[in-house]
Amino acid sequence: IMEFEESGIGEECGVFGCVAAGEWPTQLEVAQVLTLGLVALQHRGQESAGIVTSDGASTPTYTSHKGMGLVSSAFPPEALLKLRYGNLGICHTRYSTTGFSELQNCQPFVVDTLHGKIAVAHNGELVNSRALRKKVMRHGVGLSTGSDSELITQLLALTPPMEELDTPDWVARIKNLMTETPTSYSLLVMFKDVIYAVRDPYGNRPLSIGRVVPISKLHSTGAGEEDTEGWVVSSESCSFQSIGAKYYREVLPGEIVQISKHGVQSLSVVPRPEGDLPAFCIFEYVYFARPDSIFEGQMVYTVRQRCGRQLAIEAPTDVDVVSTVPESATPAALGYAQQSGLPYMEVLCKNRYVGRTFIQPNTRLRQLGVAKKFGVLTDNFAGKRVVLIDDSIVRGNTISPIIKLLREAGATEVHIRVASPPIKFPCYMGINIPTKEELIANKPQFKDIAGYIGADSVKYLTVEGLVSAVQEGIASVQEKEDNMSSNKVGHCTACLTGKYPVELEW
Amino acid sequence: IMEFEESGIGEECGVFGCVAAGEWPTQLEVAQVLTLGLVALQHRGQESAGIVTSDGASTPTYTSHKGMGLVSSAFPPEALLKLRYGNLGICHTRYSTTGFSELQNCQPFVVDTLHGKIAVAHNGELVNSRALRKKVMRHGVGLSTGSDSELITQLLALTPPMEELDTPDWVARIKNLMTETPTSYSLLVMFKDVIYAVRDPYGNRPLSIGRVVPISKLHSTGAGEEDTEGWVVSSESCSFQSIGAKYYREVLPGEIVQISKHGVQSLSVVPRPEGDLPAFCIFEYVYFARPDSIFEGQMVYTVRQRCGRQLAIEAPTDVDVVSTVPESATPAALGYAQQSGLPYMEVLCKNRYVGRTFIQPNTRLRQLGVAKKFGVLTDNFAGKRVVLIDDSIVRGNTISPIIKLLREAGATEVHIRVASPPIKFPCYMGINIPTKEELIANKPQFKDIAGYIGADSVKYLTVEGLVSAVQEGIASVQEKEDNMSSNKVGHCTACLTGKYPVELEW
Amino acid sequence: IMEFEESGIGEECGVFGCVAAGEWPTQLEVAQVLTLGLVALQHRGQESAGIVTSDGASTPTYTSHKGMGLVSSAFPPEALLKLRYGNLGICHTRYSTTGFSELQNCQPFVVDTLHGKIAVAHNGELVNSRALRKKVMRHGVGLSTGSDSELITQLLALTPPMEELDTPDWVARIKNLMTETPTSYSLLVMFKDVIYAVRDPYGNRPLSIGRVVPISKLHSTGAGEEDTEGWVVSSESCSFQSIGAKYYREVLPGEIVQISKHGVQSLSVVPRPEGDLPAFCIFEYVYFARPDSIFEGQMVYTVRQRCGRQLAIEAPTDVDVVSTVPESATPAALGYAQQSGLPYMEVLCKNRYVGRTFIQPNTRLRQLGVAKKFGVLTDNFAGKRVVLIDDSIVRGNTISPIIKLLREAGATEVHIRVASPPIKFPCYMGINIPTKEELIANKPQFKDIAGYIGADSVKYLTVEGLVSAVQEGIASVQEKEDNMSSNKVGHCTACLTGKYPVELEW
Amino acid sequence: IMEFEESGIGEECGVFGCVAAGEWPTQLEVAQVLTLGLVALQHRGQESAGIVTSDGASTPTYTSHKGMGLVSSAFPPEALLKLRYGNLGICHTRYSTTGFSELQNCQPFVVDTLHGKIAVAHNGELVNSRALRKKVMRHGVGLSTGSDSELITQLLALTPPMEELDTPDWVARIKNLMTETPTSYSLLVMFKDVIYAVRDPYGNRPLSIGRVVPISKLHSTGAGEEDTEGWVVSSESCSFQSIGAKYYREVLPGEIVQISKHGVQSLSVVPRPEGDLPAFCIFEYVYFARPDSIFEGQMVYTVRQRCGRQLAIEAPTDVDVVSTVPESATPAALGYAQQSGLPYMEVLCKNRYVGRTFIQPNTRLRQLGVAKKFGVLTDNFAGKRVVLIDDSIVRGNTISPIIKLLREAGATEVHIRVASPPIKFPCYMGINIPTKEELIANKPQFKDIAGYIGADSVKYLTVEGLVSAVQEGIASVQEKEDNMSSNKVGHCTACLTGKYPVELEW
């Protein structure tokens, strides 16, 4: 269970872009596609949202709107109205790690340069942002926000040489940027009529491309290239279906891809230092991504199910019922049940309306805690022994009241199995993790975690088990598909092992 | 699938009340309990919400707040602040059937009478409201809203004789009201320091009582009567857990129960006409209620699971995978899987953030329809035959695009099994059902429903199957518990059969 | 100075109605006329506003909107949109005397009766409302608000006999109402296609009728009866100009006037008890009304100027400059200057943006008080002796810091002359006056009021002086106009003299 | 009459700053002083408002809040709460000339530089902003807004040499800036614990300094230097009184003044090119400034009154009554009356509630135009000849309906006298003036302006008359005060004469 409000673990953001294909203006309503794309990525950030569209003219008109909160409240009808004339655009949804949650920090960031306006949307966190900020400011640039996105934008603006040409060489500038900062970033850079989609050399954050097809041909398998209505690029492929696009491919680690109305073109792949493996964040699989997203050729749901199976092998239990903490742990629970042969039953149901009710603190209701979020399906487990599968335990304060609820309702035993290893280290690459001291795995009580949270037993998936459950699927994909086989496989497990993909320069 | 926005089927409302026990003021924060109670009943109405609290003094001070929308937006912090001095209170959440969605129509309704203020919260719909309105107006009363709640309140105010006594006989007045209108209503009437909880003689709408216990004793089984911190009364028992209360009992059909700080007392049971059975709405089991609520001694989730088992017996399929349209059909799907021995797999995941985004109509995105609400878990069913369990099909326009999604993603066959019979008739007792013409079961296409919605086959649960799945559990409960055995068993199946529990006076 | 926020003196409300003339629908946009009418009466109440329109059909559709705050915030564009199909309507702006400032209490009040819906807007306060409430409730009517408007509406609904006829006799009912309660009320009652405009027998609150003329003929004097586009009725005639109407006549004390598309018709004049004079509120002249309104044939501005002249006669000063506390006292100050022959100069200018800034209390800025509202025009009075004319002094805490400001800026003497007598008694007829204890005139310090507020001298207009300044103009009007000469002249001076026009039944 | 909505003439903005004196934290609540300061300058910009405070520490914490609309809506209580820990701060209120009215463009602008954050608030408009933008961007700086304030901030940040010292030489940088751009700007630059107050060498925009004194000593003349609680700096001195400060002195053209807790210190005076006179905007006197502000030693009200006297000399009339278009023309009207010996009377009263009511266009009510804003005081002028004094006529479409109103109400003649010369040229220094084509003075109809607007005669003040009315007072001040006598006198009359103080580089 890693509900945002309980554990404080959160993704920083999601990025999304869209370019209408063919002659402009086309029938594809870019502003609507962008909005739906944002909604589909809302799980990656609920704090603010922003869209910038361009008409793609040689002297382009950019239109932007940003707002606090969910997309639904940040984008009232009048905002969509003013964005509607775009032929391409990029957008961003944000979950702040820094505590500065002001409209000013919202992305995409737009600046006017000698060559015209550029817009940048960024998912990730620059490991050397302090040094970069100083460098930029020493050049005489004032930075108006603390966001990496503004920093990237100004770096792109000032990269020497300051050519005063008709067509500035943005690709050279992006490459230059990539030599300044190794990770982590998935970037969308919009300039006039082009979106550059960029993934850092370690591929730490995801980025996928999709092809928009006519609705009429969506449900037929034979929609050919000639039917392309536009291109989308997104942190996660789950957003493609919701706007009627088909999965096309991932942006590769280090790759710069140009997306325009003329199609998708790979411009360059910036290499990692000799010997370094890719370092795609393994927690995207474990927790952050939506289960229907595809990374490295495999569906996230399937990986989670495989984690559950692996967990059943590593940490079996003698119980009557396997169940889940809804909803994120359900694939792992079903995997555990399948592997173990134990019956799967639901023991908790969620009250989907429990959100921000303005109950004052210091009351009995606060003591009830998580109880008000879950209904207990007593008859399914009263008098039985239960193993509850969770996807991760961060602070340990959420699972504890759930165990109490189950016992009170008649469970004779409650065992906890966690489908990921304990989190022990901070992330400096875009994930908001509590301080080391707050992590249950670093507390003295972790020695007797079962006693601490009130379970009959607690066991975690091993790091090796997790890595093999993740990489097993990639191997089978690579056998099938040639074009990915050249890519080495590797994942960032820093928060579990303390081994960071690059040296930290803080 | 009966998503509100798609099908237009909706409960009218939920009622909730709370009385702090012992000497007043107690530690129990009534306004907070009421708010949490409303949130737990939010699935019964999202249009508006209202709370009225009383300090319970002999010349009582009533405080009220009403607001449009979800509880979370209708009750900002300052609203809770002004309500906090209550020792008892009632509240209401509303889903309008009439189209008048103005603050003025929000319940609870409060009026000043010769004897002081009374407050009324009502779930249900008076079958003879037109005649009653005329009767009241002929007496010279102007009605300021079209709500049944105001009508009931004025009926209670004017019931003769207009005794000018210190203590008016509200029980006599409530009985009088019950002779004027047979059904349907579950009522809470607050007067000074007492809440009267009333259920119509047919017991058409639910109403349950719970006991608030100290948090410290919540998880111990030994909390005795002497530990009672207060009483709550609610449309559904699912709300009890979320505020730290334990299920006590249902209000019986026709019963008037008095709830005060001195406890719970049954004052009277008004009988039905000779020969009439109770008529508890069977759709509360099928769709409306939360799965963790208890009616007639049985958990709703269990009844739904039993419906799924019965459906597997009545309408088996030769497929590879059993699945569900999340989330409401999941218990039936699991029941179907258990009975049939077929494997249960998830094929769809919900995007919980898709709500009210202000996308203009007439676009490709609208054509996408339901696709933007569900992610498809392709790997779980590609190349397989799927049976999808749904809880009901009202208009038939929601299931159709889902079937397309599954086929497009590789399902070789898609069969639909519906865990309830076809809805054919309107409800006049509190449920918002589309007009007869809009119901798929009354359309010519129903003859070839499979072809119409694009499924390989479609089958429904029979009315007999549903009734037996519901009543089977009650029988077993009645064997165990003496106090309910005197109650005859009966359910309203009017929307399925056209047999209404009382003659309709429209 | 009687700024609302400082002194707490305030009018209760303003009423306004409009009927489009000729065949319906006409070109006259009734909803817009009503809104502008409300804005023109905004000085009579800023707490809430409401409009009810009717299409005037035999089975009429009423549309209503109410909102808190100024008309501009209470009536957003979508509210005006929903009201636009009205052929007639009434509206109301409110300043609460009771402290219940909830939307529920907003007028107009609409109720459904045996004969259809009626809507009522009321300016005034029923002197016997307690007894009337009890009477209504004894009949079995529950009252949902504490407003006199609801009470009046229910009285009209229940008035026996409860004829079940096609056309109920509303005039008989209104007359009946007028026998139940002597004062104070100016009422608009809308039923289907008619507005009844009613003034209580004492004429305590104002009510005037205007004729809407085509814009093209507005500035020509020759617009005849045949050019009438509609009729308006308003608490004050100042609203007529802002919607392009011409003053027609006042509703007389005790008169019931019917306004419909067929024109204006006097139906009845209910007499006062033998010997009683009319009792039009004299404070409408002194302070409440807008200076461009006409009462009893004379312009309010002129009466105020006459008060200033009278004050110069009664209380001359030996100073260099006459000035005003802007803006309400300016006519009196100019009158004083004209009569005395002293030069008139501005010494203060208002900061029109000082309104509701959310400065927390207990600060130096609060101590500054009125200073932040006024700029001082030093050069106009530095080194001079000033007499400052104020229209009334209620609590005495507003004028005091102004005097300090002037002295600090160099005034050598500051004398205060008040163009009305001291307020000493509460009003029970619709004006919100501080409690007796709070009135400066009832405090011990009043003996040395000059010392208390820091002035060199303070003098008030006498009651006789005020009455003569008011009535002098009426006399000259009556000489000219025959139709008013039958009316006796009389004014309510209760707040100054304690002589109430009717016996108080509290 | 130059109502914003009618004529489109508007000031761009107002700036205000405050530093608490003595040891920090002091009792002086800087955030509240800033807010009140903004309110007092609200007439200079109603579109947005922003405040930035600093705790003044060596590593300072800056807190900022910006909002759209009036100060009262842009600064809700929670905004003031978050600002309350400041020991100094600057703020800004804005009226956009560019059409970009987004939060992002709001001032003050804050950027992080190598030496820490600086905040800038700017009133004026850089005549060479295009060239400066290009220069900054060529250096590699991306500009995120179109505002001059960001441009100034980045210019200050990049000014070479990029000394990496503990204490950067901001004064050198400000001087550098002043060599880059001659006019027009009044600037506040906050860095850590200091505010630099800067006025361009031409002194085109105003800037004054005030001294905050204890409330207890405010009304005594003897508050000495030792009683200083803080310092304020403001576009207009009218703001001083509203926060309890005393006028101290003006910032001189070209002067850089440092304001800190240690007091006020003049650091430098940057000279104009040889032979150039100062060019303080003469329209600050005519229209923009509040009448109680002091510029160049004289009160604005007095200057306006003098314009009225001069107008009476230049353009006398043979009428019965002198009156004003309230409120801004009143001082001129009183001056005209005094000089001419004619009686002054009010003929119009303003409805202060007419603001943004959401009436749809294309209706009779729109035709009514200005009529709904003014009430007519008929009795004061019916049957008489009136001369109406206006402060300026820009488009001529506002005065015309007023003349109609007066004639309709009985004025036998209506003459117009305008207390300023016709506006004929655009302003590039911070004032929003309609395009040349829209100005009535440039239209063919201007030849017969009286006929065009429906007046009996129209006359304007001459440029010479205006200049002499303005400068006459300065001369008398300079005689008295030595410290100003060194200053040459000169005013910008570009909008009247087309003679701009510097060459325009557009």
Per-residue pLDDT tens for A88-104?
999 999 876 544 456 67
C490 part of a folded domain: no
What residues in A contact D109, CB-CB < 8 Å?
144
Interchain pair A142, D160: CB under 8 A: no
Between B474 and B204, residue with greater pLDDT: B204
Same-domain pairing of A313 and A213? no
Interchain pair D379, C301: CB under 8 A: yes
Q: What is the mean pLDDT of residues D373-392?
A: 94
Q: What is the mean pLDDT of residues D1-27?
A: 70
Q: What is the mean pLDDT of residues A293-300?
A: 95
- Please state, rounded to an integer, the average pLDDT across all residues of chain D: 87
Q: Return residues 399-418 of D near C (CB < 8 Å).
A: 404-405, 407-408
What residues in D contact C376, CB-CB < 8 Å?
241, 292
How many other C-beta atoms lie within 10 A of the C-beta of residue D59? 8
Same-domain pairing of A210 and A138? yes
C-beta separation of C121 from C187 below 8 A: yes
Is the pair C, B in contact (3+ CB pairs within 8 Å)?
yes
Q: How far is CA D165 from CA A138, B379, D54, D116, in A?
A: 11, 62, 21, 11
A497 part of a folded domain: no
Residue C79's Cα: distance from chain center in Å?
Answer: 25
pLDDT of residue B162: 55
Radius of gyration of chain A (CA): 23
* Catalytic residue list contains A13: yes
Q: Reply yes or no on whether the pLDDT at A128 is more than 70.
A: yes
pLDDT of residue D397: 76
Q: What is the mean pLDDT of residues A108-132?
A: 91
C497 part of a folded domain: no
pLDDT of residue D163: 57
Residue A265 near chain D (CB below 8 Å): no
C-beta separation of D33 from D232 below 8 A: yes
Percent of chain C with pLDDT over 70: 87
Instruction: Tell me the C-alpha distance between C44 and D375, whole Å.
Output: 16
pLDDT of residue B360: 54
Q: What is the mean pLDDT of residues D439-444?
A: 90
CATH, residue A26: 3.60.20.10
HEC string of D461-490? CCHHHHHHHHHHHHHHHHHHCHHHHCCCCC
Interchain pair A139, D143: CB under 8 A: no
- Kindly give, in sequence order, each residue whose CB lies less than 8 Å from that of residue D474, ignoring residues fewer than 6 positions away: D296, D297, D298, D489
Interchain pair B39, A353: CB under 8 A: yes
C-beta separation of D23 from D56 below 8 A: no
Please name the helix (run of DSSP H) or strand (run of DSSP E) that holds residue C208, with its range, or none: strand C208-212
Q: Reply yes or no on whether the pLDDT at D100 is more than 70.
A: no
Q: Return residues 79-118 of C near B (CB < 8 Å).
A: 103-104, 109-114, 118
Same-domain pairing of C247 and C365? no
Same-domain pairing of C263 and C316? no
Closest partner residue to A379 (CB to CB) among B243, B302, B367 is B302
Q: What is the pLDDT of residues C255-276, one digit of tens each?
A: 999 999 999 999 999 999 998 9
Q: What is the pLDDT of residues A224-259, one digit of tens each?
A: 777 889 999 999 999 998 888 999 999 999 999 999
Q: Tokens standing for D312?
A: 């009476």
Q: Return residues 202-221 of C near D (CB < 8 Å).
A: 215, 218-219, 221
Same-domain pairing of D71 and D150? yes
Q: What is the mean pLDDT of residues A147-164?
A: 79
Query: pLDDT grade, residue B481 (50/70/90)?
Result: low
Q: Return residues 151-170 of D near A (CB < 8 Å).
A: 153-154, 156-160, 162, 164
Q: What is the mean pLDDT of residues B482-502?
A: 82
Q: Reply yes or no on whether the pLDDT at C216 is more than 50.
A: yes
Mutate to test the interface with D, among A106, A138, A144 (most CBs of D within 10 A): A144
Whose structure tokens read 């102007």? B142
Is the pair B, D in contact (3+ CB pairs within 8 Å)?
no
Query: pLDDT grade, residue C124 (50/70/90)?
Result: very high
Interchain pair C141, B158: CB under 8 A: yes
C-beta separation of A494 from A335 below 8 A: no
Highest mean pLDDT among A184-198, C84-98, D214-228: A184-198
Same-domain pairing of D233 and D113? yes
Q: What is the mean pLDDT of residues A10-25?
A: 85
What residues in A contact D112, CB-CB < 8 Å?
133, 137, 142-144, 146
Between D149 and B249, residue with greater pLDDT: B249
Q: Reply yes or no on whether the pLDDT at C305 is more than 80.
A: yes
Tell the burial category of A434 from Cβ atoms under 10 Å away from its Cβ (0-12, 13-18, 19+): middle
Whose structure tokens read 């349907």? B184
A481 part of a folded domain: no
Closest approach of C356 to chain D, Cα-based (Å): 6
Q: What is the mean pLDDT of residues D346-375?
A: 71
Q: What is the pLDDT of residues B54-95, one digit of tens each?
A: 999 988 999 999 888 888 888 888 888 888 888 999 999 987
Residue A390 annotated in ligand binding: yes
Highest mean pLDDT among B41-45, C202-206, D404-408, D427-431: C202-206
Mutate to test the interface with B, among A359, A408, A453 (most CBs of B within 10 A): A359
Total domains in the fold of chain A: 2
pLDDT of residue B363: 59
List the strands of the sheet with B413-418, edge to edge. Answer: B321-324, B385-390, B413-418, B457-460
User: β-strands C280-281, C491-492: how paired?
Assistant: parallel
pLDDT of residue B106: 83
Same-domain pairing of D172 and D31? yes
Q: Tokens standing for D167?
A: 């204490």
DSSP string over D228-288: --EEEEES-THHHHHTTEEEEEEPPTTEEEEEETTEEEEEEEPPPSTTPPP-EETHIIIII
Same-domain pairing of A366 and A246? no
Q: Return residues 49-78 of A near B (CB < 8 Å).
A: 70-72, 75-77
Residue C334 near chain D (CB below 8 Å): yes
A373 part of a folded domain: yes
Q: What is the pLDDT of residues B123-179, one digit of tens each?
A: 999 999 889 999 899 888 999 888 888 999 999 988 665 555 567 888 999 999 999
Q: What is the pLDDT of residues C309-362, one digit of tens each?
A: 999 999 999 999 999 998 889 999 999 999 999 999 999 998 877 765 555 554
Mutate to test the interface with C, among D27, D366, D379 (most CBs of C within 10 A): D379
Residue D63's Cα: distance from chain center in Å?
Answer: 26
Query: pLDDT grade, residue C366 (50/70/90)?
Result: low
What residues in C contact B133, CB-CB < 8 Å?
112
Q: What is the mean pLDDT of residues B402-427?
A: 94
Q: Return residues 355-374 of B near A (CB < 8 Å).
A: 355-360, 363-365, 367-368, 371-373
Residue A427 annotated in ligand binding: yes
Q: What is the pLDDT of residues C311-324, one digit of tens each?
A: 999 999 999 999 99
Q: Reply yes or no on whether the pLDDT at A6 is more than 50.
A: no
Interchain pair C138, B162: CB under 8 A: yes
Q: Return residues 222-261 of C near B (CB < 8 Å).
A: none
Closest approach of D271 to chain A, Cα-based (Å): 27
Query: pLDDT grade, residue A280 (50/70/90)?
Result: very high
Closest partner residue to A349 (CB to CB) among B70, B291, B367 is B291
- Please state, rounded to an integer, the average pLDDT across all residues of chain C: 87
Residue D302 near chain C (CB below 8 Å): yes
Q: What is the pLDDT of residues A443-489, one digit of tens each?
A: 998 999 999 999 999 999 999 999 999 999 887 777 666 554 456 88
What residues in A contact D137, CB-CB < 8 Å?
112-114, 157
pLDDT of residue D209: 98
Residue D133 near chain A (CB below 8 Å): yes
pLDDT of residue A99: 43
Instruction: Tell me the C-alpha distance between B441 and B464, whole Å.
Output: 18
Q: Reply yes or no on whether the pLDDT at D7 is more than 70.
A: no
C-beta separation of B500 from B346 below 8 A: no
Q: What is the pLDDT of residues B199-238, one digit of tens each?
A: 999 999 999 999 998 877 776 666 677 788 999 999 999 9
What residues in C contact B103, CB-CB < 8 Å?
103
Hey, which chains touch D, using 3+ CB pairs under 8 Å? Answer: A, C
Active site residues of C: 13
Residue D24's domain comprises 10-276
Interchain pair A143, D109: CB under 8 A: no
Interchain pair C221, D408: CB under 8 A: yes
Residue A55 annotated in ligand binding: no
Interchain pair B144, C109: CB under 8 A: yes
D335 part of a folded domain: yes
Q: How many CB pairs under 8 A join B and C?
A: 85
Mutate to test the interface with A, among B93, B357, B362, B406 (most CBs of A within 10 A): B357
Interchain pair B144, C144: CB under 8 A: yes
pLDDT of residue C501: 93
Q: What is the mean pLDDT of residues C215-241?
A: 82
Residue D273 near chain C (CB below 8 Å): no
Q: What is the pLDDT of residues A397-434, one digit of tens each?
A: 788 889 988 998 999 999 999 999 999 998 888 887 77
Whose structure tokens read 């405080």? B63
Interchain pair A353, B36: CB under 8 A: no
Phi, psi of C368 (to 5 degrees): -65, -30
pLDDT of residue D485: 46
Interchain pair C292, D367: CB under 8 A: no
- Please state, rounded to an integer, the average pLDDT across all residues of chain B: 87
D325 part of a folded domain: yes
Please name the helix (run of DSSP H) or strand (run of DSSP E) that holds residue C45, with its range, or none: none
Q: What is the mean pLDDT of residues A139-148?
A: 87
Q: Reply yes or no on whether the pLDDT at B190 is more than 60.
A: yes
Same-domain pairing of B41 and B135? yes
CATH, residue A439: 3.40.50.2020
pLDDT of residue D114: 86
Same-domain pairing of A127 and A270? yes
pLDDT of residue D246: 92
Same-domain pairing of C152 and C86? yes
pLDDT of residue D476: 75
Same-domain pairing of B305 and B377? yes
Closest approach of A150 to chain D, Cα-based (Å): 9
What residues in D contact C367, CB-CB < 8 Å?
215, 244
Between C372 and B101, residue with greater pLDDT: C372
D126 part of a folded domain: yes
